Each structure stands twice: as structure tokens, then as C-alpha cells.
Amino acid sequence: MEFTFLAEQFSAIYHTAAEGVASAPGRVNLIGEHTDYNDGFVLPCTLNFRTKVLFKARADNVIKVHSLNYPGESDCFSVAEPIKAGPSQWGNYVRAVAFVLQRAGHKLCGADLLIESDVPQGAGLSSSAALEVAIGGMFNSVAQLKLTPTQLALFGQQAENDFMDCQCGIMDQLVSANGQSHHALLIDCQDLSTQLVAMPTNLVVVIINSNYPRKLVDSEYNQRRLACEAAAKKLGVSSLRQTTLDAVEHNTLLSDVERKRARHVVSENLRVIDAVQALQTGDLAKLRTLMAQSHQSLHGDYEVTVAATDGLVKLSQQALGENGAARMTGGGFGGAIVCLCLPESVATLKDSVIPQYQQQFGLAADLYVCTAGQGLVVQYF
Ligand code: GLA
């Protein structure tokens, strides 16, 4: 939505003009799935879909927040008191970020806020990370906290872990805070160092949301984390980053499930490094192989795919042939798939994959052609 429209809406709600906007993008992970909480490598890129938070500081300690995505629902709380969960689910993300900043000793101030987002929700494209990073950026500005984008990302992750009860890793918030237009971001989750990787100009990023209803995502996700931690312990390392495929195959203490989970993580880390090189050289054949292997590993060893996303990936791989690569993206159990393909192949995905998927799974998929957008931006009007 246009800023002028959003600014008008802000004035209509609060009877005063917004003084600025903090905005942060959703993300799609190109490769490196379920590796972030294992100190591994990930290669996400930001989306051109963003969550915008228009703001105006208040003289008191009250946060008032409305969202154009949820008309008629609002939230209001004080940053001068201990922050607890409230009645609004999206409002709780705002509270969560305030809670972790307050807990770390940062002095917050009140603000009137208006949120608007075009990041698809429930698709595994990090709409919640975009909201957390934008809210963190807003507090950073109005309360002059002087935090870096990486620090804001870490607070966003803490908000998920300690307030929203989701034990996610750092990938989503870190790329939303630090991503750059037209680039993917290689993140080493062991030390949070990052490297920008230019997106090849001959390829486009296509995201297809399976619209499969995601269930039990958090509990399954947490189980995967626990299995990885158990495997690392049996392998005698602090995280699966410190081990090898050989050690995983030959360790006699690992259960079958732990071996499979560890094999996925260790092999996926290797694929990320190879994918960086393939992206840099525009090597589509290599990307096809790596993304297909990643999907297969997430299906067979990590067991986070569902029939709908397996089917969507297979249909896309068949339709794209040598002109593109496809795999599931994000946490799994439904959600979206990502394709890297030649621009002329987008029509094939739209005209052939979407109807075939509908026929096979009875679900209407949404397709987005994306470009990598800028990470967190805070602007004053
Ligand atoms: C979710 C989490 C991330 C990451 C992915 C899987 O998106 O929020 O931290 O673990 O799943 O790669």
C-alpha cells in the first residue's frame, strides 16, 4: 500500500500525523533448512513483501497499536509495567519485542503505531520475523536505543523463544534485519557473520504457497531441535556443525531417527556452501541438483515435508526441466516451495503446475515472482 494512504489512515485513527515508518521484509530460504539452530549455514534472501509500522512517539508510556490487516482489532499496553500476553495474537508480537527489550534493561517510551503488511501469512515466509524486526526498528528509533540490525534480530528471536513459545533459530530475523536488495545472504549461524551473494540476473525467484493447512508445526519443530541436540551429545560435539558425515554414519550410539536428523543437517551445510558458488557463477544445473538433494533430505531424513509440498516440488521440477530448480522452503509441514528459474519458465509454473496441483491435492496454490528487497529501513517523514 502507498505510504500516503497509510499516513492518512494513521491520522484518521490517532488524530495526529505519523512521524516515521519502520519496515522489514519477509524472507525465502534458498537452501540451508533446519541448520540455523545447529550452528550451521543458511542462504535466505529477503522478499519484496514488507511489514510497515508507522509510528509517532507519545509523551507517556503507552503503546497503542492498530493493524490494517486486522480491522477493528487493536492492542494497548504500558511499557512502564511488566509486559504480559494480551488478547490479540498479532498484538502479542509487539508486546513480545517490548518485553525482551525491557528485560534487557532498555528504557522504552510510548508510541502510537499502525501496522500494514503484504507478507503472506502462514506460508513459512517469516511474516512474524518481519513484524518483530520492524517493531524492534521502531523502538530503536523512538527510544534511541542505538542497537545494530543484528542486535535487533537477536531480540526478535528472543521474542519468539521467550514470549511466543516458538524455539526458532536466528535465520529469519537476521536476514530481515540485514538483507540487501538483489542479494541473498549467506549466514554462518555459529558466529552470525554474513556474506552478501548477488542474485544471478538471469534467474528469477518464484515462491508457490501450497496453502496446505499447517498443523503441529511448533511441536514438530521443537522435536527436531531436541533430536539434533541429542545427536550432537552422543557424537561428543557441542553442535552438529562440529561433526562429519562419516562420524554420523559410524557412531553406534545414535538411534535411527537421530542418525537421519544429523545426516540431513551435516549434508545440508555442505550443500549451502556449494550453492553459494553455484549462485555466484549462475550455474543452474548445479543449483538444480543441490535443491533437489535438499528437498529429498528434508523428505527422507528430516521428515518435515507433506504430500502436498512433495507433490508441488515434483510437479515444478518436471515442468521446469533444465530451466529451473525447486525445493520446499522454511520450517515445513506445509507452507511454500521455492523455485529458481529462467524468466520464460514462470508461465509454465502458472499454467501447468498450479492447475495440476489443484487437481491432485484439491488446493489452490498462490504463486509469487519475487525480487530480494532491502532489509530493515527506518525513515522519518
Ligand atoms: C523456521 C525458523 C527458522 C529455521 C527454519 C528452518 O523458519 O523460524 O529459524 O529454523 O524454520 O530452516
Cβ–ligand 1 distance for 160 under 6 Å, the answer no
Largest CA distance in the chain: 68
Nearest CA to 213 out of 306, 91, 119, 328 is that of: 306
Give mean pLDDT, residues 301-312: 98
pLDDT at 215: 76
pLDDT-derived band at 2 (thresholds 50, 70, 90) equals confident
Question: Does 3-197+375-380 carry CATH code 3.40.50.300?
Answer: no
Dist. CA 115 → ligand 1 center (Å): 24
Burial of 59 (0-12, 13-18, 19+ CB in 10 A): exposed
Q: Does pLDDT of 337 surpass 80? A: yes
Catalytic site residue from 39, 75, 172, 301:
172
Report percent pLDDT > 70 for the chain.
99
Q: pLDDT, tens digit, for every residue of 193-229?
A: 999 999 999 999 999 999 998 876 888 999 999 999 9
In sequence order, the 6+-apart residues with CB closer than 8 A to the CB of 133 are 24, 149, 152, 153, 156, 173, 176, 177, 375, 376
Answer yes or no: is pLDDT of 341 > 90. Answer: yes
Whole-angstrom distance, CA of residue 66 vs CA of residue 326: 37
Q: Report CA(331)–ligand 1 centroid distance (Å).
A: 5
Confidence of residue 374 (pLDDT cuts 50, 70, 90): very high
Residue extents of the structural domains in the chain: 3-197+375-380, 204-370
CATH superfamily of domain region 204-370: GHMP kinase, C-terminal domain (3.30.70.890)
- DSSP-assigned letters across all residues of 72-126: T-EEEEETTS-----S-HHHHHHHHHHHHHHHTTPPP--EEEEEEE-SPTTSSS-
In this prediction, residue 122 carries a pLDDT of: 87
pTM for this predicted structure:
0.97
301 catalytic? Reply is no
- The finding on whether 268 has its CB within 6 A of some atom of ligand 1 is no
Band of residue 9 on the pLDDT scale cut at 50, 70, 90: very high
> Does residue 90 carry a pLDDT above 80?
yes
Q: What is the pLDDT of residues 143-195, one digit of tens each?
A: 999 999 999 999 999 999 999 999 999 999 999 999 999 999 999 999 999 99
Residue 110 CA to residue 186 CA, distance in Å, equals 36
81 Cα: distance to centroid of ligand 1 (angstroms): 32
Q: Is 116's C-beta closer than 6 angstroms to any atom of ligand 1? A: no
Cell 534511541 sits at which residue?
Answer: 144
Q: Which atom of ligand 1 is nearest to the CA of 124?
A: 7
The tally of CA atoms less than 13 A away on the side-chain side of residue 48 is 12
Q: Is 156 in the pocket of ligand 1 (CB under 6 A)?
A: no
Amino acid residing at 227: A
